Amino acid sequence: MSDDPIRGGLSGDKVLLGGEATEELYDQGSFGRPVDGGLQLSLVEAAYLLDRSRIAVRLEGAELDFRSFFEKATAIEAGFEFRYVVYKDLRERGYYVQPGVTDFRVYPRGGKPGKTPAEFYVRVFSERQPVPLKDLVEPIKVTRQMRKRLMLAVVDEESDITFYEARERELKGDMKVEVGGGTATLLEDRVMLWDPESSERIHEGGFYGKPGGGRLQLSLVESAYLLEKGLLGIVDRTGEPLSLEEFVRRSRSVEEDFDMKHLVYRDLREKDLVVKTGFKFGSHFRVYKRVESSRKVPHSEYLVHSIPEDHVFHLPVVSRAVRLAHSVRKVMVFARDDGGMVKYLEIGRLKP
Amino acid sequence: MSDDPIRGGLSGDKVLLGGEATEELYDQGSFGRPVDGGLQLSLVEAAYLLDRSRIAVRLEGAELDFRSFFEKATAIEAGFEFRYVVYKDLRERGYYVQPGVTDFRVYPRGGKPGKTPAEFYVRVFSERQPVPLKDLVEPIKVTRQMRKRLMLAVVDEESDITFYEARERELKGDMKVEVGGGTATLLEDRVMLWDPESSERIHEGGFYGKPGGGRLQLSLVESAYLLEKGLLGIVDRTGEPLSLEEFVRRSRSVEEDFDMKHLVYRDLREKDLVVKTGFKFGSHFRVYKRVESSRKVPHSEYLVHSIPEDHVFHLPVVSRAVRLAHSVRKVMVFARDDGGMVKYLEIGRLKP
């Protein structure tokens, strides 16, 4: 490596260097892209190298110091500041990073371009940026097709970065349940099964509801599921039997998200998982792979929150949800209705 | 205590018992309210005693079993189900509970009506119920005037209860800061101070910004505060100095909540607290009482989230925030603008 910086010029949103840069920067450091006998750097790469005095950059005959270059770059390229923060962080941790189909691609530790395939595609976000669900679903799809992993790098207002991995997730449990019996009453916004024997059987069989005083209190989604499976009858307070349709209609009027939750609840139960409310964790459900007995309840593995197809993530909210899930050793999963199929999106912390 | 249940009748939203109930239920158990030589029970009290076969209740000549009574009570009184769940839980934990100005008042462990003053006023909520800020602020005020504590009992869809205490909180730190100097540039959505000496002084002096490469990256609220205190100059990318007014105008266009955050940030700094972003915890700020040196950063004590005066709490969101704060040993505080004064509302878990 020479001590003199390599000279180049800012042109549009690139910095162009002569052919002599190729060996030192591209071959040795995987910086830039060789074009027409020279080397082309993105603004982020150029700022990084300029800060280390490995290149010098001129514009209209005058040399730009780091400050001038940086000020210009943020004006030329929306999001430059965030990408620079992330690029610098990953490079300083010793990773090879290159511009990619998302924002960057990152090579595994010890690997480098030309030697090993990239491991991650990276999407950079500002914490202030609302992120529509589809802006995660698309990159996840592309990333999986390319056999990579998707890294989300979220830059907060003080330029700290939180790294997440987002991926589609298959959920599967180990709890086949087919017990039922009895008739319950729909009260104001929950359902009460009065008969001690049915209460015990349904609670012990599938860990449904909350028992007390020989009765069983069931939530609306639990009750709808048991009703549609023919495992429970439900009447209103006058003793009139309720059809599934009528029960769902009334549940909707109590609970805005009822349809969405009902769909996800059913899907999770059909996948042999045990589903309970996640209220204490601020999510719709906490999910167990299996509950042998209500006297020996194991650790629940997932927090599942249902979101609509047009959901927009607010990153501080995602940060809180994922952080809480990790602190109680659970996996945070967002469930959505994808044309009648429920799909699960896991977002987890990543420590590069 | 006699083995035969005491006979009474359902009348409107009360159950009326004869005078013989006063000694056994009121004197011994603090159930009901003596009126006209008899004892009047609320529906919740009556359901509790009926479930224990301590009373029998008739309506129009026929005796009501627990199921019929309960079904009727939920139809008569909105929210009966939630209040019953909470009343029963607290009674079964051995507390004396009476109807009160909020939903209930609860006596301290070992205390009872007539012997000791009540300790808590209890407000019961369903997790589904949106709670406007003023519906907490008012009871907090009343509760404090009466020298009680305010307990929030939130009943989730499976009838589990989470207990919180809500109270006004004074925040005060121990970090007087008056250091500054230098001129920084407003970039896309953050501010960069370029001069190494000023960067070091401002960062070390008040734990402002994030240092790196001899520069200091400052957030918008930090910059606005330093600018208004005359501790920092700010220019735009063309070198044009920005007035506080202009800086605030531009910050607002980047950050929707800027004014609210700015107000709270200033108030916390003026109270000698050290304020940093709380993004990793999903809140606006994490707050330290004092930071001696950036090389020895202590544990931050509060998570502070600013909310508007017309804020409506969604209890699952509160649940997530408070749970996360506890898991990282911090106190969750909601800050609001109360006619120009910033007030702080702490919500913490309570384990009765």
Q: Using one digit for the tens of pLDDT, what is the confidence trace for A35-70?
A: 988 999 999 999 999 999 999 999 999 999 999 999
End-to-end CA distance of chain B: 28
Residue A20 in tokens: 């002599």
Average pLDDT over residues B1-9: 81
Least confident of A196-205, A268-277, A286-295, A328-337: A286-295
CA angle B88, B91, B95 (to 5 degrees): 150
CA distances from A13 to A75, B162, B208 (A): 10, 55, 32
* The pLDDT of residue B1: 47
- Are B280 and A323 inside 8 Å of each other by CB? yes
Mean pLDDT of A160-185: 92
**Does residue A178 register a pLDDT over 80?**
no
Exposure class string for B193-226: b at 16+ Cβ within 10 A, else e: bbbeebbebbbbbbbbbbbbeebbbbbbbbbbbb
For A237, the closest of B74, B209, B327 (CB atoms) is: B74
Task: Give the tokens for residue A300.
Answer: 């629940």
Q: How confident is the model at residue A100 (pLDDT cuts 50, 70, 90)?
A: confident
Q: Do B188 and A280 touch (CB under 8 A)?
A: no
Nearest to A308 by CA among A179, A133, A51, A48: A133
Nearest CB neighbour to A162, from listed B88, B280, B319: B280
CA distance B351 to B161: 11
Q: Which residues of A touch B128 (CB under 8 A)?
A: 189, 254-255
One of A84, A87, A107, A288 is an active-site residue; which one?
A288
* Two structure tokens written together for A79: 């999001």
d(CA A299, CA B201): 49
* Interface-testing mutation among A71, A124, A288, with chain B (most B C-beta atoms within 10 A): A71
Q: Give me the pLDDT at residue B180, please.
A: 82
Mean pLDDT of A5-11: 95
The answer to whether residues B59 and B72 touch, using CB atoms and an 8 Å cutoff, is: yes
Distance CA A46, CA A84 (A): 10
**Strand pairing partners for B154?**
B125, B162
- Sorting pLDDT into bands at 50, 70 and 90, what band is B340? confident
CA distance A222 to A216: 12
Of A74, A190, A219, the CB nearest to B81: A190
- List the single residue in A with minimal CA-CA distance to B194: A67
Confidence at residue A1, expressed as pLDDT on a 0 to 100 scale: 47
- Flag if B71 and A187 touch (Cβ within 8 Å): yes
* A-B Cβ pairs (cutoff 8 Å, strict): 161
Contacts of A26 (CB under 8 A, 6+ apart): A32, A33, A34, A39
- What is the pLDDT at residue B167? 97
Centroid of chain to Cα B5: 41
Among chain A residues, the shortest Cα distance to B155 is held by: A279
Check residue A191 and give its pLDDT.
96
Per-residue pLDDT tens for B284-334? Answer: 999 999 888 878 888 999 999 999 999 999 999 999 999 999 999 999 999
- Minimal Cβ distance to A158: which of B192, B277, B320: B277
- Cα–Cα–Cα angle for A33, A34, A40, nearest 5°? 60
Note the pLDDT of residue B95.
96
Band (pLDDT 50/70/90 cuts) for residue B181 is confident
What angle, rounded to 10 degrees, do the helices at B66-76 and B43-51 form? 170
In whole numbers, what is the pLDDT of chain B averaged over residues? 94
- Choose the mutation target among A125, A189, A210, A291 for the interface with B, i.e. most B CBs under 10 Å: A189
* Residue B38 · residue B26 · CB < 8 Å: no
Q: What residues contact A157, with CB distance under 8 A and at least 6 apart?
A: A127, A128, B189, B190, B219, B220, B221, B255, B277, B279
Contact criterion met (CB below 8 Å) for A125 and A166? no
The answer to whether B128 contacts A217, with C-beta atoms less than 8 Å apart, is no
CB B316 within 8 A of CB B278: no
Q: Mutating which of B189, B195, B317 best tests the A interface, going by the most A Cβ atoms within 10 A? A: B189
Is A288 part of the annotated catalytic residue set? yes
- Check residue B26 and give its pLDDT: 94
- Cα separation, B305 vs B328, in Å, equals 16
Of B54-63, B136-145, B292-301, the poorest mean pLDDT is in: B292-301
Distance between CA atoms of residues A220 and B291, nearest Å = 49
**How many percent of chain B have pLDDT more than 70?**
99
What's the half-sphere exposure (Cβ side, CA atoms, 13 Å) at B43? Answer: 23
Copy the structure tokens of residue B20: 């013989």
Give the mean pLDDT of chain A. 94
Q: How is residue A184 written in tokens?
A: 């319950």
Instruction: Taking residues A241-270, report their average pLDDT.
Output: 96
Q: Looking up tokens 């998200």, which residue turns up? A: A257
Asked if pLDDT for residue B218 goes beyond 70, the answer is yes
- What's residue A42's pLDDT? 97
A213/B162 CB distance under 8 A: no
Q: For residue B338, is pLDDT > 90?
A: yes
* Per-residue pLDDT at A5: 94
**Could you give the domains of chain A?**
1-76 (3.40.1170.20)
pLDDT at B193: 97
The token pair that represents A259 in the structure block: 């349809």
Separation CA A131–CA A140 (nearest Å):
14
pLDDT band, very low/low/confident/very high, at B254 (cuts 50, 70, 90): very high
List residues of B with catalytic annotation. Answer: 288, 299, 330
Find the residue in B nearest to A281 (Cα): B320
Chain A nearest-CA residue for B193 = A67
Judge: A323–B188 Cβ closer than 8 Å, yes or no. Answer: no
Q: Are B236 and A71 in contact (CB under 8 A)?
A: no
Do A189 and B126 make contact, defined as CB atoms within 8 angstroms?
Answer: yes
H-helix segments, B104-195: 134-145
- Provide, as residue numbers in chain A, all residues whose Cβ is less than 8 Å from the Cβ of B219: 157-158
Residues from chain A contacting residue B281 (CB–CB below 8 Å): 319-320, 323
- CA atoms of B331 and B39, how far apart (whole Å): 44
Do A273 and A175 contact (CB within 8 A), yes or no?
yes
Residue indicated by tokens 């048991």: A226
Contact A221 B187 (CB under 8 A): no
Which positions in chain A touch B159 (Cβ < 8 Å)?
190, 210, 212, 217
B288 exposed, middle or buried (CB, 10 Å; 0-12, 13-18, 19+)? buried
Alpha carbons B315 and A1: distance in angstroms, whole number: 59
Best mutation target among A159, A183, A236 (most B Cβ atoms within 10 Å) is A159
* pLDDT at residue A242, as a whole number: 97
Give the C-alpha separation, A275 to A303, whole Å.
Answer: 10
Q: How many other CB atoms are found less than 10 A from the CB of residue A75?
A: 14
Strands B341-349 and B161-169: antiparallel
pLDDT of residue A2 exceeding 70, the answer is no
Kindly determine whether residue A159 and residue B210, on different chains, have CB atoms separated by under 8 Å.
yes
Interface contact B321-A71, CB threshold 8 A: no
